[in-house]
Structure 1
Amino acid sequence: MSAVFGGLDLCSCKRGFFTLRDCANGAVATCGACSRRICAEHMTQAGICVECAAKRQEDAALEDDTTGYAIRSRHRWYDSGNYSPVWWGTSDPYWSDTDYRWYDDPGDQDDDGGGFGDS
């Protein structure tokens, strides 16, 4: 995989907290879990990228008896009771279920309903 910047093989991880952006560092290894190319900054001692390491930590926390039990119990409770959140909004009969009506323009002579063929 060659990158746009002078043929460099760039890291596949993202940088940033509020706004994610591509990492501009050159890749030096391949993640052992997801096979993405990563730089030295985004590689852990286990030879995997920081994102795969975080995923492993989350999975390990869910396997913990107390946390995992609570999450599994909540999931079973909501599934068995057909739970759905309460909606306190109102509906407007003008709008359809898919809200396409705002695209409808009575003066539009170009729309013949034929799809993209007339574009």
Structure 2
Amino acid sequence: MTPCAVTTGFFTLGKCGLMAVAGCPACGRAICAGHIADGGLCPECAAARGQFGHPAAAAAGRRRAYRQRSSEQYADATWYTGFDTYDRAAFDPGAGASPDYLDDGDDALVDS
């Protein structure tokens, strides 16, 4: 059994996992009967072609649009200069080992 490889979920993304019945003609991704979009495409390929008739293709289109908008922001070298050392401290190597990187005596929550 080949599982469906279409991305699903709202807050936590994952793979569908149902039994695939076809492969996307554009990318070859395995897709189940519930995720076949316009033209037999997977939702991601349908969204890339601007075909949003299937609900999963519309969701894929929104994810694609968000990544495109945010990549413009992240490519801006001056955007990160607005962060100070406190903002960047949580991303320092080893910061994940401590549940609270700011030692204020309260280890229940990460201070942010």
Report the TM-score, using the length of structure 1 for normalisation.
0.45
* Bigger-Rg structure (1/2): 1
* More helix, by proportion: 2
TM-score w.r.t. structure 2 length?
0.47
